[in-house]
A = this chain, B = another copy of it.
Amino acid sequence: MVDTVDNKPPHQVVIVGGGFGGLYAAKALANTNVSVTLVDKRNFHLFQPLLYQVATGTVSPADISSPLRSVLSKSKNTKVILGEVNHIDSQTQQVLMGDEAIPYDTLILATGAKHSYFGKDEWENVAPGLKTVEDAIEMRRKIFSAFEAAEKETSPEKRRAWLTFVIVGGGPTGVELAGAIAEIAYHTMKDDFRNIDTSETQILLLEGLDRVLPPFAPELSQEAETSLTKLGVTVQTKTLVTNIENDVVTIKQGEEVHQIPAKTVLWAAGVKASPLGKILAESTGAECDRAGRVIVESDLSIKGHPNIFVVGDLANFSHQNGKPLPGVAPVAIQEGEYVASLIKAKLQGQTLPQFKYIDKGSLAVIGHNCAVVDLGFIKLKGFPAWFAWLFIHIYFLIEFDNKVVVMIQWAWNYFTRNRGARLITGEQTIIPESVLITDEETSHQQAGSKIIVNR
Contact = CB atoms under 8 A, between A and B. Distances in A.
Nearest to A408: B405
Interface in A416-454: 416, 418-432, 434, 441, 444-445, 447-454
Contacts of A454: 128, 134-135, 137-138, 141, 426, 445, 449, 455
Given A62-B423, A81-B152, A405-B409, A69 B416 contact: no
Given A73-B191, A193-B69, A409-B405, A423 B61 contact: yes
The interface centre, meaning the residue of A42, A60, A406, A424 with most chain B CB atoms within 10 A of its CB, is A60
B449 A427 contact: yes
Given A61-B60, A141-B454, A455-B137, A401 B418 contact: yes
B62 A453 contact: no
A134 B422 CA distance: 15
Interface residues of A, number: 77
B445 A441 contact: no
The interface centre, meaning the residue of A82, A128, A133, A428 with most chain B CB atoms within 10 A of its CB, is A82
Given A63-B60, A418-B402, A453 B138 contact: yes
A353 interface: no
Contacts of A430: 41, 82-84
A44 interface: yes
A189 interface: yes
Contacts of A420: 62-63, 65-67, 70, 401-403, 406
A15 B104 CA distance: 62
Given A401-B418, A431-B83, A455 B455 contact: yes
A230 interface: no
A289 B81 CA distance: 51
Given A65-B423, A144-B43, A74 B191 contact: yes
B432 A82 contact: yes
Given A84-B430, A444-B451, A192 B70 contact: yes
A144 B67 CA distance: 11
> How many copies of the chain does the oligomer comprise?
2
Interface in A77-94: 79-84
B426 A402 contact: no
A304 interface: no
Contacts of A148: 43, 82
A192 B73 contact: yes
Contacts of A144: 43
A98 interface: yes
Given A60-B60, A79-B194, A452 B429 contact: no
- Give 8 nearest A-B pairs by CB, closest first: A138-B454, A60-B60, A62-B421, A448-B448, A426-B453, A69-B192, A405-B409, A455-B455
Contacts of A61: 60, 423, 425
A448 to B, nearest CB: 4
A383 interface: no
Nearest to A405: B409
A412 interface: yes
